[in-house]
Amino acid sequence: MKTLHHMIDRTLKYVLGETRFKTLGAGRTDAMVSANEAAFELFIYDTPIADFKEFIDLFNLNLPQDIKALSIIEVDKNFNVIQDSKIKEYHYVFSFGQKNHPFCAPIMTNIQEDLNIGLMMEAAQLFKGSHNFKAYCYKSNDDSIHNRTVDSSEITMNQDYRANFFPETSYVLKVRGKGFGRNQIRLMMGALIRVGNGELTSKHIQSSLETGELDKINFIAPASGLILHSIAFE
């Protein structure tokens, strides 16, 4: 499967012709994860881009249909899209109960059992703040960064993503912060699902954020419900 970075580089090679260039992506996501916003840095080594509007129009004309360039700005030579401070907001879209229309599958996870959404909403707020997120980092090791700060974490009714084939009621886990571990949002969502079905309690979540350990083995929620909603550089 071709990655987003590969498809962007291939399109740039066609658009820029013989001009030498390099790209850096702001981060990577798992297969089947969507992005409402993403960012990459383009380094031009020969002729600079003369007309940004003309460039972005040509770029969009040649990009695959599931990728759209939104904007382009010139940055200082010291800017680094990977290392510079940025805020990311992730959304995890889900429903539960009756199975969804198959068209929902790319951006919404369906849990085919009843969940106590009230308990899940309460537990989601526990992730806010500075905690030890070791229990929510896939294949964590001693070199991983476990102490992280989550600026906000909440489950709300889904008002952001609509389609006539969506279920009447669906929900979104919204998490915002500067940095996240590997599969962190999906592991957080997995724990919240288990709170909803009674396998875990809020006390399990609270304890895991203090000790870095979850009493019971956690599972990674499916990738298809996860969306990188926005990315902003400070």
pLDDT band of residue 141 (cuts 50, 70, 90) is low
The mean of the pLDDT values for the chain is: 90
What's the pLDDT score for residue 48?
86
Using a pLDDT cut of 90, give the percent of the chain over it.
Answer: 69
What's the pLDDT score for residue 78?
87
Cα 194 to Cα 41: distance, rounded to the nearest angstrom:
39
Q: Reduced to 3 states, what is the DSSP secondary structure of residue 127?
A: helix
Largest CA distance in the chain: 61
Higher pLDDT, 75 or 29: 75
pLDDT band of residue 142 (cuts 50, 70, 90) is low
How many Cα atoms sit within 13 Å of 164 on the Cβ side? 0
pTM for this prediction = 0.89
Cα 80 to Cα 43: distance, rounded to the nearest angstrom:
11
pLDDT band of residue 1 (cuts 50, 70, 90) is very low
Cα 83 to Cα 69: distance, rounded to the nearest angstrom:
22
pLDDT 10s digits, 182-191: 899 999 999 9
How many Cα atoms sit within 13 Å of 117 on the Cβ side? 17
Q: Which amino acid is at 223?
A: A
What's the pLDDT score for residue 5?
77
**Mean pLDDT, range 207-226, rounded to an integer:** 88
Domain ranges of the chain: 4-62, 86-233
Nearest in space to 92 (alpha carbons), one of 221, 230, 232, 231: 221
Residue 217 has pLDDT above 50, yes or no: yes
Cα 94 to Cα 123: distance, rounded to the nearest angstrom:
16
In sequence order, the β-bridge partners of residue 90 are: 175, 228
pLDDT 10s digits, 36-45: 888 899 999 9
**Mean pLDDT, range 89-105, rounded to an integer:** 96
What's the pLDDT score for residue 3?
72
Residue 146 has pLDDT above 70, yes or no: yes
pLDDT 10s digits, 2-12: 577 788 999 99
CATH number, span 86-233 = 3.30.70.660
Sign, Cα dihedral of 174, 40, 133, 105: positive
Nearest in space to 31 (alpha carbons), one of 3, 7, 52, 51: 3
